[in-house]
Structure 1
Amino acid sequence: MAFPLEQRCTLLCMILLLSAANYCYSQTYLSKATYFTTDDGMGNPTGACGYGQYGKTANGGQVFAASGRLYQNGAGCGACYLVKCKEEGLCRDGGVKVMATDSGEGPGTDFILSYRAYGKMAVPRMASLLYSLGVVDVEYRRISCHEAANLVIKIVEHSNYPWYLAVVPFKQGGANDILSIELNEKASDTWTAMRRVYGAVFDFQNPPLGELKIRLSVNGSDGQKWVESDKAAIPKYWKAGITIKTDIQLN
């Protein structure tokens, strides 16, 4: 079956876009990694993503501060990578799965790993030698954090009902990056964009009253798309500090 030239060009562009997305999520890249220390070897609860205590304990404390190109002005918060160091005789073949909860970089490094995550790259009884190197060559690729699960959002503590609403979404699974968030008062047909304040934190001055639905623009291995809650995600009388499990799944 023959297609007109315009249709053939459109089909070709779609194929190239899909191929590029799949390539990005399966390709292995080279970089360097170092580590930071905390009292317990886990994450930093004051990390740039705004996750708070979740940024400390997420993924069992195997977290990292991402370089600018992985952090992506906050869109890369919550992304997971498989990182393998290249020091022969010191590093495990399996590498370590880490989650981005902060931003930072050194000379040539894309990953500043938590002390715990950095040590997990070593073969048994070789962690001390790996730590002594300080910076190591690594290969890495993007992976899903977990199996698909419902998105959880937290109303940030400095929110002030009903005049100021700030939320932080916690990606519970999949490999989707959250690019933007919009709100819709349940009785309205109008979607209004929230502002990305920093990291994964979005806010809204004088938000709509009533129950609020949310939708997210996400980018993942299957390209960019909108995902929307089927029912109200934020209650009419929301309170600062509450955590809400939505009906949105990120694949």
Structure 2
Amino acid sequence: MGGGGCNSGALVMVMGLCLVVTRTAEVGSAWDAAHATFYGDMRGTGTMEGACGYGDLFEQGYGLETTALSSVLFQDGKTCGSCYEIQCHNSSQWCLNSTIHATATNFCPPNYTKSTENWCNPPLKHFDLTQPMFRKIAVYKAGIVPVVFRRVPCIRTGGIKFKIEGNQNWMLVLVYNVGGAGEVVDVKVKGSSTGWIQMSRNWGQNWQIMSNLLGQSLSFQVTASDGKMVESDNVAPDNWQFGHSYEGNQFDK
């Protein structure tokens, strides 16, 4: 486009078009601009665990289709589990003609000691992909490329899963394999002898209560960022054990 530009602060030039920049990315949001790098090797070494608390990403079903987010996208872990469609910006010579989908599972921390290569510092929007995902959209030696992205629904196999850790007076539940918006904003638990108990976010998608629910079957209510709630009754039987995962219902596709 011959010298034209996007004059409004709410617009960004993306692939030759002026597009609306969303303030907070939601499922179905418009394309937005960012950059992408990668970390780890082709087997995913260095990309397991992570700030969202999912642990072994192969075991939890996320595999290598994952990304770490910069501060402005990570939002202190509130966006863990959100899903993104990402394309390399075709103004770069390093771009490949491919689109990827990645789930947010980690945090790309800022580095305020660097005046350059500070891609994860606020207010920059940045994706630090696994190496296999990066190499689907760009040439390896590029190292960093401009991208466009948008939030998309998460497609999962099976139901939402709840991994229970803790002790008799403290329960920590990892909520994962969440479809739909993917981003969990509220969790409640109910024992077979209690009413609904509000859980609080411990970190990432780990939710906690200071209660003893041993010997009771457990039900969960999970609310996503789009306001939808799914209830899973008696997910864990009364003989549930710490360290085990239990599968509930899933958000509608």
Distance in 1 between residues matched to 2:69 and 2:129, nearest whole Å: 9
Deviations 1:177-197 (A, max 9, x none): 210111112243x32111211
Partner of 2:52: 49
- The question of 1:204 aligning with 2:213 is answered no
Q: Which residue of 2 aligns with 1:16?
A: none
Q: CA deviation at 1:59?
A: 3.9
Gaps of 5+ in 1: 1-19
Q: Are 2:134 and 1:118 aligned?
A: yes
Corresponding residue SS for 1:116? helix
Deviations 1:51-97 (A, max 9, x none): 11027874441211112232233231121111111144532333211
Aligned residues of 1:176 and 1:250 also touching (Cα < 8 A)? no
Task: Provide the C-alpha distance between the structure 2 equivalents of 1:29 and 1:21, rounded to a whole number of angstroms.
Answer: 10
CA–CA distance in structure 1, aligned partners of residues 162 and 26 of structure 2: 30
- How many residue pairs match? The answer is 217
Structure 2 CA distance for partners of 1:176 and 1:214, relative to 1, 3 Å: same
* Residue of structure 2 in register with 1:234 after alignment: 236
Indicate conservation of the 8 Å contact 1:175/1:250, yes or no.
no
Equivalence for 1:215: 221
Cα pair distance change 1:118/1:21, threshold 3 Å: closer
Q: Which has the higher helix share?
A: 1
Tell which deviates more after alignment, 81-90 or 136-145: 81-90
**Aligned residues of 1:50 and 1:199 also touching (Cα < 8 A):** yes
Q: Distance in 1 between matches of 2:105 and 2:59?
A: 8
Contact 1:42–1:63 (CA<8 Å) still a contact in 2?
no
Deviation string, structure 1 residues 132-157 (Cα, Å, up to 9, x no partner): 2322111001112315741111123x
Please show how residues 145-184 of structure 1 align to structure 2 within 5 Å.
Answer: 145-146=154-155, 149-156=158-165, 159-160=166-167, 162-184=168-190
Q: Hey, what does 2:98 align to over in structure 1?
A: 94
Give the structure 2 partner of residue 82 of structure 1. 85
Is 197-206 or 90-99 further displaced after alignment? 90-99
1:135 alignment counterpart: 144
Question: Could you tell me whether the CA contact under 8 Å between 2:85 and 2:152 is conserved in 1?
Answer: yes
8 Å CA contact retained: 1:44, 1:56: no
Q: Secondary structure at the match of 1:54?
A: coil
> What does residue 14 of structure 1 align with?
none
Aligned-pair CA distance for 1:246: 0.8
Identity %: 26
Unaligned runs of 5+ in 2: 1-22, 110-117
Cα distance in 1 between the residues matched to 2:41 and 2:144: 18
Q: In 2 relative to 1, CA 173–226 (structure 1 residues): closer, same or farther, beyond 3 Å?
A: closer
State the TM-score, normalizing by the size of structure 1. 0.75
Q: Secondary structure at the match of 1:166?
A: strand
4+ long deviations beyond 6 Å: 20-23
- 3-state DSSP of counterpart to 1:25: coil
